[in-house]
Amino acid sequence: MAYNWSVWLLPKTEDKRTFAEYVTFYSKLYGSDSFSPHVTLFGRINANPKLFYSFFNKIKSESKIENVRTLNIKIGNPPWKRMYIQLLLNKNLLELQNKIDKKLRKYRDYQFDPHLSLAYGNFIPNKKDIRLISFEEMISFSSLAIVDTPNDIKDWSVIQKFDSA
């Protein structure tokens, strides 16, 4: 069986609600599919995700990720980094991602660039649209998740969520 899953860092409820509104806004504005706000810590693994449940439970309980500073809204390469909020790579986020990278890099190389996407797609964003939202200086995170991430965004779904103990 072929697998195609990613590891996400999920915002706390309050921030998830706020950023979900931004994702919905930009997705509608540009005619792209909406998705749940997240930071991809490692993308697109072809291995049975159940083999990693205990690993993710362990690192989530050890993790000190709570708040990550936001930097600015950027426009990147389509489709996967089209419009996003760049995040500061702080010590705790780097430690968490390094643990995940060490465990998963045998499956593929992954270049981590901490950001929270606002819209995916092949559209050309208007720079004035960046100013349509104002966002907090920090994003608070609460969970890790293994998420099925096929190419169609509308088919993305959480396989397993790992909350803080």
Structural domain containing residue 15: 5-159
List the beta bridge partners of residue 42.
Answer: 7
Q: What torsion do the CA atoms of 78, 83, 84, 85 make, to the nearest 10 degrees? A: 140
How many domains does the chain divide into?
1
Residue 25 lies in a domain: yes
CATH number, residue 152: 3.90.1140.10
CB atoms under 10 Å from CB of 62, counted, come to: 11
Per residue of the chain (165 residues), give pLDDT as tens. Answer: 678 999 999 999 999 999 999 999 999 999 999 999 999 999 999 999 999 999 999 999 998 888 999 999 999 999 988 999 999 999 999 999 999 999 999 999 999 999 999 999 999 999 888 888 887 899 999 999 999 999 999 999 999 999 865
Q: pLDDT at position 90, please?
A: 95
Residue 165 lies in a domain: no
